[in-house]
Every structure is written in structure tokens, then in C-alpha cells.
Amino acid sequence: MPTITFYNSINSGHCHRVRLLLKMLKLPYTAVNATAQIRHGEAFRLLNPLCQVPVITDGDNVIADSNAILVYLVKKYAPGSHWLPDDPVAAARVEQWLSKAAGEIRYGPASARLIKQFAAPEDYPAARAVADRFLPHLQSYLEDRRWLAADQTTIADLACYGYIASAPEGGISLAPYPAIQHWLARVEALPGFEPMPQLPLPEENDR
């Protein structure tokens, strides 16, 4: 089995979801801390012209985009597994939640965290508005479900976990959402789980 090279950033939730799946599938890989200098270098531009992480190389294959990487890893190394079900309805639900990870989660909790922790030039009130619409929906959805897309965990759970778990780092409390907290705990109990590094919570008057 060729060794996968994983270009990543330790504080990125997009990278965290890939790291989780690599560990949960027990795949050997080499991690490269892709600093800004590396990402904007000529060699990395050949891997991803957008200069973004994560990216993996696997033999001659180069895959960018975190959700695309999740699909690739399962299709190649765990085909037919619970991570990406063959059942049409479950597969469609996985795709729905991957879209939410790239949509409401990215532009809600993830955006708020980027602003508070890294001074990203994004719109905090807009991010809060997205989160305030999405989190009650997620809470209601999880009240009678253990996992997002199927009866077992899938890549949808990994894709959505990181930025929901770190929402408080963007000044968004999860206290009103017990079902979300229980789902986060179930993901954290999976074999091979490792947390994202914790960043300081914003001051109360800065939320």
C-alpha cells in the first residue's frame, strides 16, 4: 500500500475531518504542515492552484477538497463500508450533509470561528445569522437520530463534526443544543478519534 502524503493545517476543521478518516481507516500517511509559505509556493500550486488545504497525494493521484478526499479514501480503501453506504437513500443523505458542511456549517460556525480566532475578513453578523438558523435545525434533526445520514456513522458525521464542535471558539454556544452535544460525544467515542487543538474562547463581551 503506497504511503499517502497529507498536506494539512492543524487548526483547520477541513483538515481534521480527513485526519479522522485516515486514522479510523488505519491508513499509513505522512503529514506535511502546509504553512502559508508552502501553500503559495510553486510546488504546491501544482497540487492545488487554489493554494488551499487539505490535499492528499496517493501514488499518482492528487485529491484536493476535504469532502472529495473523504469520498476518495472510502471508495479506494473501504468500498462497501458503512462510511459511504450503497443504499440510495443513505448515500443521498451523506451527500446532503456534505453539502451542509460546505454550506451552512462553513458559512455559519466555521466563519464565526475564523473571524474570532484568525481575524478573517468575513461578516460576523452574517455568520451568526446562518448559525442561528442552522443549529436549531440540527438539534431537531438529531433528537431522534444517533448519526446524520444512516444507522451507523458515515463520512457525513466526520465532515460536519469539527466546526460544530469548535463553534464556541467563534462565540457560538452549544449549551442550548443537547442533542448536538450527544452526537458530538458519539463521534468523539469512535475508535481512532483525536480532537482538534482547542483555541481560547472569545471574551464574553466579544461574542
* Residue 119 placed within a domain: yes
Give the Cα separation of 144 and 178 in Å (integer). 12
Residues 129 and 53 in one domain: no
pLDDT at 3: 87
Q: Report the SS3 class of residue 5.
A: strand
- Chain segment 42-91, per-residue pLDDT in tens: 999 999 999 999 999 999 999 999 999 999 999 999 999 999 999 999 99
The fraction of the chain above a pLDDT of 90, given in percent, is 96
Residues 40 and 134 in one domain: no
Q: Of 77, 107, 126, which closes a domain?
A: 77
Residues 45 and 97 in one domain: no
* pTM assigned to the model: 0.95
Residues 97 and 15 in one domain: no
Is there a cis peptide before residue 54, judged by omega within 30 degrees of 0? yes
Query: Domain range for residue 66?
Result: 4-77
Residues 73 and 92 in one domain: no
Number of domains in the chain: 2
Mean pLDDT (whole number) for 130-151 = 98
Check pLDDT > 90 for residue 1: no
Residues 68 and 92 in one domain: no
Residues 69 and 105 in one domain: no
Give the Cα separation of 52 and 33 in Å (integer). 12
Check pLDDT > 90 for residue 175: yes
* Residue 92 placed within a domain: yes
pLDDT at 205: 52
